[in-house]
């Protein structure tokens, strides 16, 4: 479902760090010191600790023995499930129904829409053998499902009463990436939802495109606390075979790269023509349907990690954190250890009953300091410490993951205090991310200004003539070790374009403002 923009290469460096277990030690785990020494990488790469190390040590993924494939551990799957619960409920309000189509697609069907398959051909994985026997006809593993589903749309749609047909499926797809597979960002197999819908009119299709795009914005901004820009892809970057592509674009200030967050495509009538998806309207006339497709993937998790992660590890927004509050007993010598443990258990019980996802860490082979570092690495939004003084004062000590701010909360107002802190963490993460993103946006008017801003890893807003050949020329002129620049999106919220404004790249009259930059 992702357009051509999803296929852009990015150089990614990785290395291996072993998570040391310092049982009973008061020192921070060894990997924390190593991570803090690994602050930046050159050449536009992802910072090592954010992608390769944090997601492993944070117990989000485990590397698999096939390159580009990763095991999603419960810490990551719970984030996906929270987003899935939200999105699934919202599309059901829109009368969109879930279904499931097979993983395999015949070569004849896959190649029926030429422009479409050309966009995916290098990434298609093929099954060619069964046991030791060669298959008579190779079978493709779906890179996306347009060609899998649309022969059956043609079968199911006969008249106007069969419309709209609105389906969604939660599944996996395979795209055999060869350029630097990276956890969540560029993997050979990933999870997604993909919606496929058919309408009698273009107006209905256009309306749905924007309704779905708004849901994607909400996933990023309301759940993942990542600011995005809603806009339209260029003709060169749109979904292969589609009419137009809308997108929510994120930006990672630490690496100076854009990320295509999720896309909602109007396919027009191209696929309807190829697969003969026709219907008889109220006047008895034969018409072709108008189609959409839209998707978001587990890439969303990678974007969140890159935007919020710091030199301690993951930083999870409370709305998607598997554990929102971790409670840690801090017993000192000769303290009432059992009383402290009982207070921890009571705290967890109270928070769970109030709807929070809270747990306690009672492990006796790790020191409190080690536990602090461990749960910081995993990104838990709020840590509650209970020691002898807290027990005596009938309070808890709460520590925020995002800014390390500490405050004491009386047990009598525990639920209210925790809710206020978590709400504040969620909003603070979004505000900080937006401030950093906005600080990276630079408006330019000339090629010289563009080149300078690109060198400074900016997200560039420039006047453009909207010519595909000019966009190709920009890519060619900026090609290098860090990757070429390209158009990210034309924002729906357009600044005023003064009369006589020229395109930054061609010098011809500009038609619109468009965001440019390097991207994943």
Return the exposure string of 321-354: e unless at least 16 CB atoms fall within 10 Å of the residue's CB, then b. bbbbbbbbbbbeeeeeeeebeebbeebbeebeee
Say what angle helices 202-218 and 74-93 make with each other, to 10 degrees.
140
Q: How far is CA 39 from CA 113, 228, 302, 459, in A?
A: 46, 25, 18, 22
Rounded mean pLDDT of the chain?
Answer: 89
Percent of the chain as helix, strand, coil, to the nearest 5: 35, 25, 35
In the predicted structure, residue 43 carries a pLDDT above the cut 50:
no
Q: Which pLDDT score is estimated for 51?
A: 64
Q: Which pLDDT score is estimated for 115?
A: 66
- What are the pLDDT digits (tens) for 133-170? 999 999 999 998 998 999 999 999 999 999 999 999 99
Q: Which pLDDT score is estimated for 116?
A: 65
Q: Which pLDDT score is estimated for 399?
A: 98
- What are the pLDDT digits (tens) for 160-218? 999 999 999 999 999 987 677 888 988 999 999 999 999 999 999 999 999 999 999 99
In the predicted structure, residue 292 carries a pLDDT above the cut 50:
yes
- pLDDT category at 15 given cuts 50, 70, 90 is very low
Whole-number percent of the chain with pLDDT over 70: 89
Give 455-512 as a DSSP string: HTT-EEEEEE---HHHHHHHHHHH-STT---EEEEEESSPPP--TTPBPTTT-SBP-E
What pTM was computed for the model? 0.90
- Residue 501 zone, left/alpha/beta (φ > 0; ψ -120 to 50; rest): beta
Q: Which pLDDT score is estimated for 103?
A: 95
As given in the structure block, the two tokens for residue 387 are 């020691």
In the predicted structure, residue 47 carries a pLDDT above the cut 70:
no
In the predicted structure, residue 403 carries a pLDDT above the cut 60:
yes
Higher pLDDT, 40 or 316: 316
In the predicted structure, residue 42 carries a pLDDT above the cut 80:
no
Give 130-144 as a DSSP string: ETTEEEEEEEEEPSS
In the predicted structure, residue 46 carries a pLDDT above the cut 50:
no
Q: Which pLDDT score is estimated for 93?
A: 98
- Can the peptide bond before residue 164 be classed as cis, meaning omega within 30 degrees of 0? yes
> How many Å is the maximal CA-CA distance in the chain?
88
CA dihedral of residues 326, 327, 330, 335 (deg, nearest 10): -170
Q: Which pLDDT score is estimated for 3?
A: 43
Please answer whether residues 121 and 113 qualify as being in contact, where contact means their C-beta atoms are separated by less than 8 angstroms. no
Q: Which pLDDT score is estimated for 27?
A: 42
- DSSP assignment letter at 53: I
């Amino acid at each position: 479902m992702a357009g051509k923009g999803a296929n852009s290469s990015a150089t990614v460096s990785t290395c291996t760090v072993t998570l040391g277990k310092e049982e009973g030690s008061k020192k921070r785990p060894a990997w924390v010191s190593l991570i803090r020494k690994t602050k930046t990488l050159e050449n536009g790469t992802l910072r090592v600790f954010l992608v390769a190390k944090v997601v492993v040590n944070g117990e989000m993924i485990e590397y698999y023995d096939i390159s580009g494939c990763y095991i999603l551990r419960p810490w990551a799957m719970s984030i996906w499930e929270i987003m899935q619960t939200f999105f699934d409920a919202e599309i059901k309000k829109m009368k969109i129904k879930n279904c499931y189509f097979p993983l395999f697609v015949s070569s004849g069907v896959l190649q029926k829409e030429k422009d479409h398959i050309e966009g995916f051909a290098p990434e298609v994985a093929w099954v060619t053998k069964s046991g030791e026997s060669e298959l008579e006809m190779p079978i493709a593993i779906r890179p996306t499902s347009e060609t899998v589903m649309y022969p059956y749309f043609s079968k199911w749609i006969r008249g106007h009463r069969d419309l709209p047909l609105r389906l969604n499926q939660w599944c996996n797809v395979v795209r055999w990436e060869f350029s630097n597979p990276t956890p969540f960002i560029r993997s050979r197999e990933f999870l997604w939802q993909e919606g496929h819908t058919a309408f009698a009119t273009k107006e209905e299709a256009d309306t749905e495109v924007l309704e779905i795009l708004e849901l994607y914005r909400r996933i990023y901004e309301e759940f993942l606390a990542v600011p995005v820009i809603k806009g339209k892809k260029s003709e060169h970057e749109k979904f292969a075979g589609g009419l137009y592509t809308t997108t929510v674009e994120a930006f990672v200030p630490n690496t100076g790269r854009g990320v295509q967050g999720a896309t909602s495509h109007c396919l027009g009538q191209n696929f309807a023509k190829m697969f003969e998806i026709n219907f008889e309207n109220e006047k008895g006339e034969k018409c072709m349907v108008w189609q959409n497709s839209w998707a978001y993937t587990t890439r969303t998790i990678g974007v969140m990690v890159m935007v919020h992660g710091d030199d301690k590890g993951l930083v999870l927004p409370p709305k998607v954190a598997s554990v929102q509050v971790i409670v840690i007993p801090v017993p000192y010598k000769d303290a009432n250890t059992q009383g402290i443990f009982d207070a921890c258990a009571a705290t967890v019980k109270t928070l769970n009953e109030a709807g929070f996802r809270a747990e306690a860490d009672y492990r006796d082979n790790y020191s409190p300091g080690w536990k602090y570092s461990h749960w910081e690495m995993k990104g838990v939004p709020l840590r509650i410490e209970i020691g002898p003084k807290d027990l005596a004062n009938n309070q808890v000590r709460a520590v925020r993951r995002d800014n390390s701010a500490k405050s004491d909360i009386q047990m009598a107002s525990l639920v209210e205090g925790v809710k206020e802190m978590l709400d504040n963490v969620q909003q603070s993460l979004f505000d900080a991310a937006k401030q950093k993103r906005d600080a990276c946006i630079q408006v330019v008017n000339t090629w010289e200004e563009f080149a300078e801003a690109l060198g400074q890893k900016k997200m560039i807003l420039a006047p453009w003539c909207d010519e595909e050949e000019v966009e190709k020329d920009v890519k060619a002129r900026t090609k290098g070790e860090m990757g070429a620049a390209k158009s990210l999106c034309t924002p729906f919220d357009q600044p005023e374009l003064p009369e006589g404004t020229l395109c930054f790249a061609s010098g011809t009259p500009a038609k619109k403002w468009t965001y440019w930059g390097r991207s994943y």
